[in-house]
A = this chain, B = another copy of it.
Amino acid sequence: MSVAVDATALRSFVVDLLTSNNADHEQASVFATALVWSDLMGRSTHGVWRLASYMDRYLKGLINCPCQPQVEQTGSSTLTIDGDAGFGHFLGHKGMQHAIGLAADSGVGVVTVRNSNHFGCAGYFASMAAEAGMFGIATSNSIAKLAAPGGTTPIYGTNPIAFGSPVENAPPIILDMATAAASGTSVIRAAEKGLTLPEGILVDRDGKPVTDPALAKDAAMLPFGGAKGGGIAMIVEILSAVLSGAALSTDVRSMFNDFSGSGKNGHCFIAIDIKRLIPLEIYYQQMALLLRRIKDSAGASGTPPRLPGEQRWSVMQQQSAHGVDLESQVYESLVSLARDAKIDAPAPL
């Protein structure tokens, strides 16, 4: 069962909910845009499904809105932000905006953010760079869930990394991936359905594979792609936390279970101004050639391979026109939040 709501109405609701609880209007608006973007793209686990938890943390003073970020430019292409425990989405947006600005001036911008919170979908920030005609990278660390390859206890978060690169007359390529072998949600759903997991998703404290998803609580998740994927998870931790001075590895707080303080997540944003490296028309030609080669690589009988982000953008287009599909329980949680705040919930379409 699901309920469709208009995306603009949904976004306004998120802003109203926060501002009716004395949040800063501008920061709440940026948060709402990024949050609803995830729903629009079909990434519902990073959308308003999390709103009740974000609100709870905001009302408990664990997320500041307004936050007072301290921004320090340290070179013509580097800048650091202490996020003052603001919304990760707002700080991520600010971080990528600065990276794009630095790149417009110098060719490249690298921005690290510390003292932040869960920032939602990394792809949102990568797409900001792509929309500005730049190649973008966005990373974040997160609460430790993944064992290092050869380890048995959680060291890394599911540590997302996203890349964005523009395409002429089409949505950008957005590769937005967690570095886990499977999402936490897919493990929970497998447990609900009584399914068995393949090896390589979970590992127990003795280093043995766990294939019963019901045992996930006592297991660590594994990175995708063995030692290579585990290496990428480590690089995301280095970019997001070692280089930013954010909480590291097991020091990041869960947004759902740990109310002893703010998340302390760290992020890294990189923007590269493409036209400094190659004339834009040649870039677009090269990119179009690459995409054509990929699409033509299935052979005569096969379905053309999907490009990173391709399916998400089609969901975005569909839901922008016809409304965002929310699971009934998620919609009910919005109704409950609306009631508490004495505002209207977004109307079902």
Contacts and interface: CB of A to CB of B under 8 A. Distances in A.
B293 A249 contact: yes
A301 interface: yes
Interface string A248-262: 111000000000000
A269 to B, nearest CB: 12
Contacts of A228: 177, 179, 224-225, 229
A276 interface: yes
A286 B241 contact: yes
A235 interface: yes
A243 B277 contact: yes
Tell which of A147, A207, A272 has the most Cβ of chain B within 10 Å.
Answer: A272
Residue with the greatest number of chain B CB neighbours at <10 A, chosen from A110, A147, A207, A278: A110
Contacts of A248: 286, 289-290, 293
A136 to B, nearest CB: 11
Interface string A57-87: 0000000000000000011111010000000
Given A207-B299, A278-B244, A294-B155, A273 B78 contact: yes
B207 A106 contact: no
> Number of copies of this chain in the oligomer?
2
A340 interface: no
Interface residues of A, number: 77
Nearest to A207: B302
A297 B155 contact: yes
Contact of A107 (B78, B177, B283): B78
Interface stretch (A9-17, A303-311, A316-324): A303-311
Nearest to A180: B228
A293 B242 CA distance: 13
Contacts of A100: none
A118 B237 CA distance: 30
B149 A305 contact: yes
A159 interface: no
A237 B154 CA distance: 32
A273 B75 contact: yes
A194 interface: no
A165 interface: yes
Contact of A165 (B179, B226, B238): B238
Give me the 4 closest cross-chain CB pairs, A-B, nearest first: A225-B225, A75-B107, A78-B107, A151-B297
Interface of A: 74-78, 80, 105-110, 112, 135, 147-155, 163, 165, 173, 175, 177, 179, 205-207, 224-229, 231-232, 234-235, 237-239, 241-245, 248-250, 272-274, 276-278, 282-283, 286-287, 289-290, 293-294, 297-299, 301-306, 308
15 contacts: A75-B105, A76-B77, A76-B105, A76-B106, A76-B107, A77-B106, A77-B108, A107-B110, A135-B243, A147-B297, A152-B297, A155-B297, A177-B231, A231-B308, A241-B290
